[in-house]
């Protein structure tokens, strides 16, 4: 009865208001509904949270697209949580595996009308980053991961280049994990590593000095011998003219008819013969003097070549030893049946922006039942423990479980021998069905995206890393940094091949040339 009365009263009131009043009322109702929806969204938005303990240095960040939340982890668990805003429909933030490759405190976008992106931490060169920004409570960015302004500012100084960033379509978290295939470092190798670096660095410096000296000696010998062809050619021409005069003198003597003419011709012949003999003597002496100089040029050139080879080998060994003191990342792709290794050299990229990552290992790998999916699993060495390293795993795409996926892979022994003995916390092994993205290059750690989830503008953006200048055998522009020999490849041309995506939209990394393995 009460509802009927209310309805009747409302009907009478609407008749009194007329059409304009009805429109106004409808607008008010709609506005109230929108406000309620917005409030509901805001209410569901995660809050910033700090772990109730003293936090260590962040090791990884996990962004949940589903929950619109980012969580940072140190060696002992989560330390920071905050709401985020990821890419909107059509410009989705790609789910996958990334790492911080550049940091800029006061970044302004070159892609979106100079938009301010404070405390930017880049994870791809085609425009995906973590940064401070407005958070409406839902996905609203152009593909970046926006974080609260204050949160991004406080976080900026605590992270470092190479920190793992995992973007998951669903909620994900690291879980303690152990497996015999995970790297087991050797204490004696780790303890010996610094002295080994010093020893090899000293040998590399000595080899570099020797190479420079032999190169200078070769240049001096070449300079001294440079005038030989011209001087010998002049003497040969001088002798040829003297011989021609002698021939002419013989003909003149034979043609003489009188005693006076014969005497004159005989005198001319004697002078021509002496001149020809002198020219021959000079030429023979010059040739004899030139031969040691030519021998010196050949010898110093061979010595310089041998010294350069010795220097390159010594620099390779020293650089490999230096890299052994860095956390190592391994990526294993079922799509390409390859294993890739990355280490950060901490050398600024020669073309500006970011740092150079070592790309010296890329080898075929054996995967049992390669037609069956592995899933995407990120194994991370969180800290040292009594037996070596304590590991965790994050799974962002289920197929086979983490243990079975690792069981199906055989890592080549030569790779294990090279990287496992000195493996450190923050080292990682990533197993995925995906190939490496075309965004992977010498200025990135691994970039891999899940091809069966929306990627928005990511797949249409071109990789922005320019071609890399070919390095010399010792450095960029002969600067002698000890890392140059690693980086003799250009930014790889992406190949539109992916067994999990048809239509050629997804592009993945392939090297421009075969990897060099002679220094193993």
pLDDT at residue 232, rounded to an integer: 83
- Separation of first and last alpha carbons in the chain: 91
CA distance 371 to 60: 31
Instruction: Check residue 386 and give its pLDDT.
Output: 82
Give, for all 520 residues of the chain, the pLDDT tens digit. 434 334 334 333 334 344 444 334 344 434 444 444 444 444 456 788 999 999 999 999 999 999 999 999 999 999 999 999 999 999 999 999 999 999 988 767 666 655 677 899 999 988 899 999 999 999 999 899 999 999 999 999 999 999 999 999 999 999 999 999 999 999 898 889 999 999 999 999 999 999 999 999 999 989 888 888 888 889 889 989 989 988 998 888 888 888 888 888 888 889 888 988 998 898 888 888 888 888 888 999 999 999 999 999 999 899 888 998 899 999 999 999 999 999 999 899 887 778 899 988 999 999 999 999 999 999 999 999 887 899 999 999 988 899 999 999 999 999 999 999 999 999 999 999 999 998 998 889 999 999 999 988 776 666 555 444 333 333 333 333 333 333 333 333 333 333 444 334 456 666 644 333 322 2
Which of these, 96, 169, 181, 75, lies nearest to 403 by C-alpha position?
181
Phi and psi angles of residue 364, each rounded to the nearest 5 degrees, phi first: -65, 155
Cβ contact 226:296 at 8 Å:
no
* Contact between residue 425 and residue 75 where contact means Cβ atoms under 8 Å apart: yes
Global model pTM greater than 0.85: no
409-410 and 338-348 strand pairing: unpaired
Spatial separation of the C-alpha atoms in residues 518 and 491, rounded to whole Å:
22
Give the integer Cα–Cα distance in Å for 204 and 458: 43
DSSP state of 484: G
Q: DSSP alpha helices (H): ranges in 45-158?
A: 149-156
Burial of 463 (0-12, 13-18, 19+ CB in 10 A): buried
Apex 314 CA angle, 308 and 320, nearest 5: 135
Do residues 329 and 448 lie in contact, with contact meaning Cβ atoms separated by under 8 Å?
A: no
Nearest CA-CA partner of 376 in 334, 339, 431, 427: 431
- Whole-angstrom distance, CA of residue 48 vs CA of residue 187: 40
Phi/psi at 406 (5° precision): -70, -35
User: Residue 261: its pLDDT value, please?
Assistant: 86
């Amino acid at each position: 009865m009460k509802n009927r009365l209310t309805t009747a009263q409302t009907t009478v009131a609407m008749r009194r208001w007329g059409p304009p009043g009805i429109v106004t009322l409808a607008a008010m109702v709609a506005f109230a509904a929108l406000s309620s929806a917005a409030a509901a969204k805001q209410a569901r938005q995660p809050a910033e949270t700090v772990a109730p303990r003293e936090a260590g240095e962040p090791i990884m960040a996990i962004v949940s697209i589903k929950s619109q939340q980012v969580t940072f982890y140190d060696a002992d668990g989560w330390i920071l949580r905050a709401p985020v805003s990821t890419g909107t429909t059509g410009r989705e933030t790609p789910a996958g595996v990334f790492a911080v490759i550049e940091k800029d405190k006061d970044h302004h976008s070159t892609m979106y009308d100079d938009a301010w992106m404070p405390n930017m931490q880049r994870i791809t060169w085609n425009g995906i980053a973590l940064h401070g920004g407005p958070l409406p409570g839902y996905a609203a960015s152009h593909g970046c991961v926006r974080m609260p302004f204050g949160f991004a500012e406080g976080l900026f100084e605590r992270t470092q280049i190479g920190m793992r960033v995992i973007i998951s379509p669903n909620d994900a978290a690291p879980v303690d994990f152990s497996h015999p295939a995970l790297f087991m470092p050797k204490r004696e190798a780790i303890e010996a590593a610094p002295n080994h670096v010093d020893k090899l660095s000293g040998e590399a410096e000595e080899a570099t000095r020797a190479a420079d000296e032999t190169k200078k000696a070769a240049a001096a010998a070449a300079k001294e011998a440079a005038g030989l062809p011209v001087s010998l050619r002049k003497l040969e021409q001088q002798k040829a003219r003297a011989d021609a005069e002698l021939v002419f003198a013989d003909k003149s003597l034979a043609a003489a008819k009188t005693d006076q003419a014969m005497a004159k011709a005989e005198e001319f012949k004697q002078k021509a013969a002496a001149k020809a003999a002198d020219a021959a003597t000079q030429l023979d002496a010059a040739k004899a003097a030139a031969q040691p100089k030519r021998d010196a040029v050949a010898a110093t050139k061979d010595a310089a070549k041998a010294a350069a080879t010795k220097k390159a080998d010594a620099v390779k060994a020293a650089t490999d030893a230096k890299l052994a003191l860095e956390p190592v990342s391994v990526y294993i792709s079922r799509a390409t049946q390859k294993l890739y290794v990355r280490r950060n050299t901490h050398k600024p990229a020669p073309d500006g922006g970011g740092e150079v990552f070592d790309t010296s290992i890329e080898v075929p790998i054996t995967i049992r039942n390669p037609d069956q999916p592995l899933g995407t699993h990120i194994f991370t060495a969180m800290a040292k423990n009594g037996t070596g390293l304590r590991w965790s795993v994050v799974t962002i795409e289920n197929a086979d479980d983490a243990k079975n996926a690792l069981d199906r892979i055989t890592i080549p022994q030569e790779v294990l021998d090279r990287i496992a003995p000195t493996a450190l916390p923050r080292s990682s092994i990533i197993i995925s069905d995906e190939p490496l993205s075309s965004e992977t290059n010498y200025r990135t750690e691994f970039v891999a995206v899940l091809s069966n989830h929306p990627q928005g503008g990511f797949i249409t953006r071109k990789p922005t890393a320019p071609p890399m200048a070919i390095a010399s055998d010792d450095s960029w522009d002969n600067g002698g940094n000890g890392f140059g020999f690693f980086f003799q490849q250009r930014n790889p041309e992406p190949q539109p091949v992916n067994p999990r995506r048809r239509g050629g939209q997804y592009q993945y990394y392939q090297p421009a040339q075969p990897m060099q393995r002679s220094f193993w």
